Amino acid sequence: MKIAIVILNWNGQKLLEQFLPSVINFSSKEADIYVADNASTDSSITYVKKFFPSVKIIENTENGGYAKGYNDALQAIDADIYCLLNSDVEVTENWLVPIKTVFKNEENTAIIQPKLLSFKDKTKFEYAGAAGGFVDLYGYPYCRGRLFNNLETDNGQYNDEVTIFWASGACLCIRSKVYHQLGGLDEDYFAHQEEIDLCWRAQNRGYKIKYVGASTVYHVGGATLEETNPQKTYLNFRNSLLNVVKNVPKRWFLFVIFSRLILDGIAGLKFLLELKPIHTWAIVKAHFSFYKNFFKFLKKRKVLQKKQDYNLHTSIVWQYFALGRKKFEELK
């Protein structure tokens, strides 16, 4: 089984200096390592060529974001498994071994995520993926080990191996044949939640997404866009709505769309009350962009495989804010 670890880079020399050594030290026996550069203007590529000559380099002609960057780069890589790895991730010894074992033993498992802990506090789960992702009835994403901004301490409670709904793009391992069968990542997303769409489409074709707790990596998070950046708010709200249009089963579709308009409005009001009007405006812009792209994504929905039915939690917003359920195990 041939594995390719592909690190997408854009002006990230400092991150490569800090985190690429762990990838080489703990992965080179199991995988080929690539840096896919999104037309950086710093000296990232010169640095990698000089200090890490074993790392293969792919130079994209433009910065097309996470989705297009990977789509362009993966066309040039021959492997059975692609591991999409953020440049701000520290891996651990033998982290690929349990992932490789699951892929070998489970033909229908298409995508795998390891345990994602915080690099800043290695006792805590990390925001971007924690112990595997899910979505609620309204299309809002959340994770085992992380509900909204509440991060659980890792006490071994998620050392298991389970089916999840989506795997984090911070460290996402996928069968190459499935990646190309799905048409890769949707480039209209640019960045954020495109991995949720990819996993959703994979499930619509009957594949499984799994979390493997025997594998651990540490993620900085927010290295490209910090949580306080309104652009991140904009992309998350817009792309979450686009996920709904493309993937939610027909019987829920109109109900979820109209409910989201109300719930996102409440989120905008919450930002106003917190004196963060720039984030309220980001949600407004997200909705305008959503309306603009609605029919384009409706057409994408029509060409996708028949939608599967899912057993999803009811509103994560209601359970978290109204009922005070702060941990995944408390959800109903």
Average pLDDT (264-277) is: 95
Instruction: Determine the pLDDT at residue 48.
Output: 98
Torsion angle, CA of 188/173/143/280, rounded to 10 degrees?
-20
**CA 269, 225, 218, 183 torsion: positive or negative?**
positive
Distance CA 74, CA 172 (A): 14
Q: The CATH number of the domain where 55 resides is what?
A: 3.90.550.10
Length in residues, the chain: 332
The CA-CA-CA angle for residues 87, 90, 92, to 5°, reads: 140
Instruction: Tell me the per-residue pLDDT of 107-164, one tens digit each, with 9 for 90 and over.
Output: 999 999 999 999 999 999 999 999 999 999 888 999 999 999 999 999 999 999 999 9
Instruction: For residue range 99-120, list pLDDT tens digits in order.
Output: 999 999 999 999 999 999 999 9
In Å, how far are 100, 254, 312 from 4, measured between CA atoms? Answer: 12, 41, 33
Residue 36 lies in a domain: yes
pLDDT bucket at 225, cuts 50 / 70 / 90: low
Residue 15 within a domain: yes
- Looking at 42, 61, 87, the residue that finishes a domain is 87
Q: Give a yes or no: residue 253 inside a domain.
A: yes
Find the range with the poorest average confidence among 88-97, 187-196, 249-258: 249-258
pTM: 0.93
Cβ burial 30-53 (10 Å sphere, 16+ → b, else e): bbbbbbbbbebeeebbebbeeebe
On whether residue 124 sits in a domain, the answer given is: no
Is residue 29 assigned to a domain?
yes
Lowest-pLDDT range of 40-54, 165-179, 292-306:
292-306
Q: Is 58 part of any domain?
A: yes
Domain boundary among 87, 108, 123: 87
Q: Which domain holds residue 290?
A: 230-330
Residue 95 has pLDDT above 80, yes or no: yes
* Number of folded domains that form the chain: 2
- Domain boundary (87, 120, 149) is at 87
Q: Evaluate if residue 305 carries a pLDDT over 70.
A: no
Q: State how far the alpha carbon of 33 is from the alpha carbons of 3, 28, 54, in Å.
A: 9, 7, 8
Element (H, E) at 117: strand 109-118
Residue 30 in domain: yes
Instruction: Work out the angle at residue 222's Cα, subtended by the Cα atoms of residues 216 and 223, and round it to the nearest 5 degrees.
Output: 90
> Would 75 be classed as within a structural domain?
yes
> What pLDDT does 226 receive?
62
